[in-house]
Structure formats: C-alpha cells, structure tokens
C-alpha cells in the first residue's frame, strides 16, 4: 500500500481516485471545491484543505487539473504541492493535459524539490477513468516509470512510454489536435448532408461502418445527430479548445504550419464566443450551421489535359 495525494477532482480525477482507493492505497485528496470530495471520503479516501497539507509524507502525488494556470496554482502556489513536504524522492505524476512549455517548467521545479517527475496525460473518458481502462501516455525516466507502475496499474489498460519528460505530453497534444480536426470535419459533413436533404441517422450509420469512421468521429457524430450536447458532458468544447491551442503552440515551436489545426481552433473559438464552451465538444456543429457559405469553388475541367 502506498501513500498517495491526488489533486484535482473533476470528471476524470474522481474516477481515478476511486480506482486507487479500491486498490488498497491510502489516498488523500485536495480540490478547490471541497464538496467534490464527499463521496470519495465516504468510499475510503481522506480529504485535505489544500495541496500542501495533502502531500505531507506521501510516496506519490497525482494531479489532474484543467490547464497550465490551474497546474501552476496546485503545484507552485502558496498552498501548492511544493509548499508541502512529500517524502524525499516521491513521484510527481502530472496527468493533466498541459502545454509543452508548462511541462518543462514543472518538471524542473519538481526535480529541484527532490521529486521524480513523470508527465502522464491520459486518453479516455470519465467512465473509463472509473473503470480503470484509461491509456496513460508517459514521458520520463524508465526507472521512474518502473517505480510508478504499481500505482498506475489500477488506472489503465495500457501504459505507453514515449521517452523522456515531455514526450507523453507531446503525443497527447498531437492526438487531441487530430481529434479537433476530425470533429470539425464531421460537423461540416453533417451540415452538408442536412442541407442536401439526407437523413442524418442514416448518414451516421453509413459513416460508422465506412472508411471515415474513428471513435472520435462516431462518438461526436452520434451526439451531433441527437443534439444532446448539454447532457452528460464527456469532454467540453472549452477543454478541446485549450488542448488544440496548446498543440498549435507546440507546432509553432517545431516550425510546423498546421493549417487544418488552425481552422479547427477557429471553430472552437467561435464555440466559446457563442457561450457553448461548457457543452460537449459536439456542439461545434452549431457553429458549422451558422457559417456563411463561401463562394462556390471552381470545378476543374475534366478529361485529358493537352
């Protein structure tokens, strides 16, 4: 049994804590909204007022928060993890999806404090977090990952080690950028189908069994057809926007233009501006419906060119 502090009890964090408690670990939780800890405490976790008090003497610290700003607060704020006293050599396991710049900053700060850092963003939805079927995308030293594996095992079906610190985050930003482009594509496709008079249910049945199918396309396409963007939100547009922006920052750092990513970001920015950012990311179809059609493209001449 390990002593674990878990910081951040959002949609994903609550399920992950439940898995760690069920595995027999001594877990203390901290969250800005303390009421979110109630059910977890009833299930065997302990609650702390802030991250600094949560990490007293622990063997590992997990964090699962929304963005760079929240990460900076919970790790380096006046009542953050680094203001507390985790055990020397404790594992710092950052599961949040952060920018590559923030990962570099955070890894440096935790190592300087005597901790062993892993960037460990996840893929999967809240139900998968609760079931322990996430995929973990790890960047860090092999020996640190080996030490962390017994703690990570209850959370995941797969643990993918991409290399040194930052590599797990790089992959997570890449895959979420691809997802943003796919979601924008299916939204536009369904709007075209709608205006062409096609039955959207039939269109989604065909898409789900065709070459364009992916879990991202099918999951969001079905929600677009059902128009249930505000029910049981699995991934809000606000977070897809954040991840896409972080991915494009990485692309710029690596001198990659990523024009399709910028188009997807434009739609997500419009989603936030329309007040739909807390709805499921599938709500981007409402933005596609509002777009003013561009000039009709020229059709290239057919036949053999001489």
- The span from the CA of 287 to the CA of 295, in Å, is 18
Catalytic residue among 116, 172, 219, 229: 172
Residue 23: CB partners within 8 Å, gap ≥ 6? 153, 154
- The CA distance from 99 to 67, in Å, is 8
Output the six-digit token pair for 267.
């739609």
- Which residue, 286, 19, 5, is CA-closest to 134? 19
Q: Give CA–CA dist 116/106, Å, rounded.
A: 11
- Residue 299: count of CB within 10 angstroms of its CB: 6
Distance CA 31, CA 12 (A): 13
Annotation marks residue 172 as catalytic: yes
- Token pair for 12: 């994903």
Helices and strands in the chain: count of H runs, count of E runs: 13, 9
Rg of the chain on CA atoms, in Å: 21
Active site residues: 172
């Amino acid at each position: 049994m390990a002593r674990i502090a878990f910081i951040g009890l959002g949609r994903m964090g609550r399920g992950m804590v439940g898995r760690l408690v069920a595995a027999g670990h001594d877990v203390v939780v901290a969250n800005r909204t303390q009421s979110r800890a109630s059910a977890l405490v009833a299930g065997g976790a302990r609650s702390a007022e802030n991250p600094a008090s949560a990490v007293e003497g622990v063997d590992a610290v997990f964090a699962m928060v929304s963005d760079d700003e929240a990460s900076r607060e919970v790790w380096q704020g006046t009542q953050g993890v680094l203001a507390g006293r985790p055990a020397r050599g404790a594992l710092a396991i950052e599961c949040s999806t952060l920018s590559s710049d923030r990962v570099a900053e955070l890894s440096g700060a935790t190592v300087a404090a005597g901790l062993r850092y892993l960037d460990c963003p996840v893929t999967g939805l809240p139900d998968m977090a609760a079931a322990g079927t996430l995929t973990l995308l790890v960047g860090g030293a092999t020996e640190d990952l080996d030490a962390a594996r017994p703690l990570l095992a209850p959370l995941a079906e797969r643990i993918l080690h991409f290399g040194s610190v930052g590599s797990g985050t790089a992959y997570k930003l890449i895959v979420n950028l691809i997802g943003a482009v796919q979601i924008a594509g299916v939204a536009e496709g369904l709007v075209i189908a709608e205006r062409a008079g096609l039955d959207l249910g039939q269109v989604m049945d065909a898409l789900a069994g065709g070459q364009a199918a992916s879990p991202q396309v099918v999951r969001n396409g079905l929600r677009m057809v059902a128009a249930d963007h505000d029910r049981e939100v699995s991934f809000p547009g606000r977070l897809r926007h954040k991840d896409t922006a972080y991915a494009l920052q990485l692309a710029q750092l690596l001198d990659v233009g990523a024009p399709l990513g910028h188009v997807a970001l434009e739609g997500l920015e419009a989603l936030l501006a329309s007040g739909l950012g807390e709805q499921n990311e599938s709500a981007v179809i409402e933005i596609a419906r509002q777009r003013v059609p561009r000039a009709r493209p020229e059709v290239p001449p057919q036949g053999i060119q001489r």
